[in-house]
Amino acid sequence: MDNKQLKEVKRIVRNIPDFPVKGIQFKDLTTAFKDPEALQVMVQAMTDLYRDKGVTKVVGIEARGFIGGAILATQLNAGFVPLRKPGKLPAEVIQKSYTKEYGTDTIEIHRDAITPDDVVVLHDDLLATGGTMLAAYELVKSMNPKKVYINFICDLADLHGRDVFPEDVEITSLFTF
């Protein structure tokens, strides 16, 4: 993937100050999602990262992780698993509560979504403090898959989100702010 193309995608990401609460600088990736060329660049870059890793499931985190996660699953010929807020999944679930930069939350996954034969990519649009993805990682790891990779479109490096994960976890992002 051409680094110049990823720099252009990064350039078109909109910054929204004080959203959803005062002091947060929200990176709005919808500006990149709505641009057909930017979307293609992101999809190709993510696909290139995982093409030869034997991925069988992509887990997308509600809500923006559903966008890239479902597309990535299609490109990798893998299944897609939604990781959702409580009360949204119809079958038996397991859940995990966690703290994030502006409050607490809980996530759920269907109890039968991941098997010990699965190689999983956990996907979300953005890495901030890492709380949501760490909870997702711990939840999926509790299901004993063969391997778990973590992927983001962008990483807010100044918030040190990568620091909350075990050192042996492979974490990728397309670009950093």
Residues assigned a catalytic role? 64, 101
How many other C-beta atoms can be found within 10 angstroms of the C-beta atom of residue 124? 25
How many other C-beta atoms can be found within 10 angstroms of the C-beta atom of residue 23? 8
Cα(15)–Cα(28) distance, integer angstroms: 6
Concatenated DSSP letters for 120-153?
EEEEEEEESSSHHHHHHHHHHHTT--SEEEEEEE
